[in-house]
Amino acid sequence: MSLWSSYRGLSPKTRIGVGIGVLLWGTIGLYASDAAADKMGMTPTEADKEALAKMTPRIHVIDRSDSQK
């Protein structure tokens, strides 16, 4: 039996509870991961931020009226 069919076999109230539980688990994980990274000293340095800025794609807008001259 697959996970999806097991989920579909649950009562509607139980499915709502499972859904809310998954959302809470994700929310707690997002907040806890930031706190854990701070405790472990994994905050990015200025050099890391500059390296990331160099890798970020840049968008250059070219006006169409200028390109047809």
Residue 35 has pLDDT above 70, yes or no: yes
State residue 65's pLDDT score. Answer: 77
**61 pLDDT band (50/70/90 cuts)?**
confident
Q: For residue 63, tell me if it sits in a domain.
A: no
HEC string of the chain?
CCHHHHHHCCCHHHHHHHHHHHHHHHHHHHHHHHHHHHHCCCCCCHHHHHHHHHHCCCCCCCCHHHHCC
pTM for this prediction: 0.53
Residue 29: domain span? 3-53
Q: For residue 9, tell me if it sits in a domain.
A: yes
Number of domains in the chain: 1
Q: For residue 25, tell me if it sits in a domain.
A: yes
State residue 6's pLDDT score. Answer: 92
Residue matched to tokens 């160099």: 54
Q: For residue 68, tell me if it sits in a domain.
A: no
> What tokens were used for 38?
């701070």
Residue 69 has pLDDT above 70, yes or no: no
